[in-house]
Amino acid sequence: MEDNPMDWPRLLSETLWAYKTLKRSATGVSPFALDFGHEVVLHMEIMVPSLRVAIQSHLIPKLYNESMITELEDQDDLRMQALNSLMIQKEKVARSYNKK
Name the residue ranges covered by the structural domains of the chain. 5-99
32-38 LR contacts (CB < 8 Å, sep 24+) = 33/78, 34/75, 34/78, 34/79, 34/82, 36/75, 37/71, 37/72, 37/74, 37/75, 37/78, 38/71
The string of pLDDT tens digits covering residues 44-98 is: 766 776 666 667 777 788 887 887 788 888 888 888 988 999 999 999 999 999 9
Confidence tier at 7 by pLDDT (50, 70, 90): confident
